[in-house]
Amino acid sequence: MKKIWRQTNGEIDVFLDFAGSGGTFTGCAKALKKHKSDIRCYLVEPDSAPFYSNKVPTYPSHKIQGGGYSMELPLLDKNLVTDYIHITDSEATLVARKLAKKEGIFAGFSSGANVAAALKLLKGSEKGANIVLTINDSGLKYLSTDLYE
């Protein structure tokens, strides 16, 4: 987070991350809040499996691999969550494909979900905000899925 803080000159309004183990979200949110206590932190969840936001799951077998497990995550500090944002399988897939095609960022479903969440926030409640997020992994392990068909 030190690099992100330096590279943005501390001009960060929002941090968001997909609900994987909860460790990245918690660690990054804590580090950023040490620098700026009013940073808003969003936890990204699969739209069909919104465990933490207490909505009714409709399809727990979502496509966004790497998280959204519909269970308590011992590493997640829920006190750091400003709000939740829900991303569909199709939103995560479409954005991951666009990242590869337009930006040269070859990533997986959860990274697509993170960027889709940022785009959704920028079109709505966080219009004009500076948002930081993580790109969680390479797309290599998704070549056998329909993500990069």
Q: Global pTM?
A: 0.93
As a whole number, mean pLDDT of residues 109-136 equals 96
User: How many independent structural domains does the chain possess?
Assistant: 1
CATH of the domain at 12: 3.40.50.1100
- Quick check: 48 and 56 in contact, CB under 8 A? no
User: Which residues form the domain of 76?
Assistant: 2-148
3-class state of residue 55 by DSSP: coil
Output the CA torsion sign for 23, 25, 56, 90. Answer: negative
Interatomic CA distance for residues 29 and 13, integer angstroms: 12
- Residue 36 is predicted with a pLDDT of 96
For the chain, the straight-line distance linking the first and the last C-alpha, in angstroms and rounded, comes to 34
Q: Where are the alpha helices (DSSP H) in 47-133?
A: 89-98, 109-123
As a whole number, mean pLDDT of residues 113-134 equals 97
Q: Which tens digits make up the pLDDT trace of 6-49?
A: 999 999 999 999 998 899 999 999 999 999 999 999 999 999 99
- Residue 121 is predicted with a pLDDT of 98
Q: Which tens digits make up the pLDDT trace of 54-88?
A: 888 888 888 888 787 788 889 999 999 999 999 99
- Residue 144 is predicted with a pLDDT of 72
- Residue 13 is predicted with a pLDDT of 98
Distance of CA 64 to the CA centre of its chain: 11
| Residue 93 clears pLDDT 80, i.e. is over it | yes
